Structure 1
Amino acid sequence: MGEVKHILLAKFKDGISEEKIDDLIKGYANLVNKIESMKSFLWGKDVSIENLHQGFTHVFESSFETTEGIATYISHPAHAEFANEFLAHLDKVIVIDYKPTAVHP
């Protein structure tokens, strides 16, 4: 069936310390150890030179085997607990789930 990607774009609230952001990212990354359906986690900061980021500063990418796996992740108590804290520190957020498709010439 192929994997499903869960992408979260975030802008942290002004005044949140880098230390707190680092702690939140570590907590997010640790979900992969707590939620079986979450297969991988990557993150990074915006480095675009196009200035089209609309204020979003961080990108988080999780991989799942199915959309049902994302549903399991979202309803998992470890995710619910983390999301309450994480979202409280965000000014803006966008979440997109998609199935990657390769282009064949």
Structure 2
Amino acid sequence: MAKGKGEVKHIFLAQFKEGITDEEKEECIKRFQSIVPHFPSLKTFKWGEELSIANFDQGFTHVFDLTFESVEGVAQYISHPEHVAYAEFFLPKLEKFVAVDYTPK
């Protein structure tokens, strides 16, 4: 991850595998929300379902939008045991995902 100054946005797009129920999706989101307090540099956590207004979603159905105080905060989040354990639970339920980090201008 390149060094940047200021806050960093971490955007995660997810497409759940066929057969994952709405209840399982809700559990994934609740667990994601439950780990948020473990990251002091995490300023905001938002999520939502893709609306398909322009039909460019490429199958992604859920968006997770996190704002960190710094690049170092993102690095701490990625390697933190709570995040690692959550990823081990969450990622097998996904068909595909993409994550990007950027510094807002």
Using the size of structure 1 for normalisation, the TM-score is 0.91
1:29 to 19, 33, 40: 33
Residue of structure 2 equivalent to 1:40: 44
2:21 to 17, 22, 32: 17
Indicate the SS of the match to 1:92.
Answer: strand
- How well do the aligned residues superpose, as a CA RMSD in angstroms? 1.0
2:59 to 50, 55, 59: 55
In the comparison of the two structures, how many residue pairs are matched? 101
Amino acid in structure 2 at the alignment position of 1:11:
Q
2: CA distance between counterparts of 1:17 and 1:66? 35
Alpha-carbon distance, 1:37 to partner: 2.3
TM superposition outliers: structure 1 runs of 4+ over 3 Å: none
2: CA distance between counterparts of 1:32 and 1:67? 17
1:87 to 85, 88, 91: 91
Identity of aligned residues (%): 50
Gaps of 5+ in 2: none
2: CA distance between counterparts of 1:40 and 1:28? 13
Q: Deviations over 1:17-50 (max 9, x none)?
A: 1011001001111221122222221000111321
Indicate the SS of the match to 1:39.
Answer: strand
Residue of structure 1 equivalent to 2:71: 67
Gaps of 5+ in 1: none
Amino acid in structure 2 at the alignment position of 1:81:
A
